Structure 1
Amino acid sequence: MLEPEQRTPKPILRQVVGWVVVLPLMASFVRLPFPLSLPLVLGVIAAAVYGVRFAWRHASRRVTVLAFIVTLLNLVSLVAIGYFSILTASLSALQGLLVPVLLRMAVLEFLRTERIRPQETQFPSKQMKLQ
């Protein structure tokens, strides 16, 4: 590990981010049946652990702690929700929370505007024919 006052070189930082964040995110978009997805999940977890180990050896303490926290969150996400990327899990949870709220807001806004609008005849063309 580098000394606390030393900065992590850019190539090392990119490699750590690739192993810990990008690889699990990319692998979470692949949908495979159960027997085939198990080696993929185990490989992603092993790659994230390797990213933490790589950060421990070559990066600063901040980068190492960040890589460890993200890997830990990915593992918790895998066990709790079934997604092995915390980014994909949070996106899924956000969609599950926001879609019903936004739909309800749209329906309420529609109902509010319908009450304010003055009553109109449903078929103006029939009224024109009668006159």
Structure 2
Amino acid sequence: MKTANEKASEDVAEKLEEINSLFSLSDISRSQEIIPAIYSYLNSSEYLAAALKIDEIRKILQEAMAVKLLQKSDEIIRVNLKNLSVDMQSLFNEKREQGKLNVNVIIKHIDEVAMIMQNTSSNIKAKKYGVKV
């Protein structure tokens, strides 16, 4: 009886992890759709829209960090979150003040986050399907 209970507990934990991975993969995939929109908004000088999309990415990154989904250290993720917050503020200020905005720095930060998200997506898929990426 004890062995059956232990087996059932293991099965439940495994299914829960699988469900969490699917939800996580959904969030990560959503971020991979948002990032090209950010590039587009930056290229067309639609800074408010870019800032709002960066906020979405920032929230996904925070959630992924909270559930220990990312393969990077928490310190690296914190740096990226800080960069995104500074970028959002710069974009909001640019909209109000029409100052000089260095879009290349923002694009560099988005590129770094995009790489983290892509690696995370690959790792989730590899774990799910048993294939090393």
TM-score under structure 1 length normalisation: 0.36
| Structure with bigger gyration radius | 1
Comparing both structures, which one devotes a greater share of its residues to helix? 2
TM-score under structure 2 length normalisation: 0.35
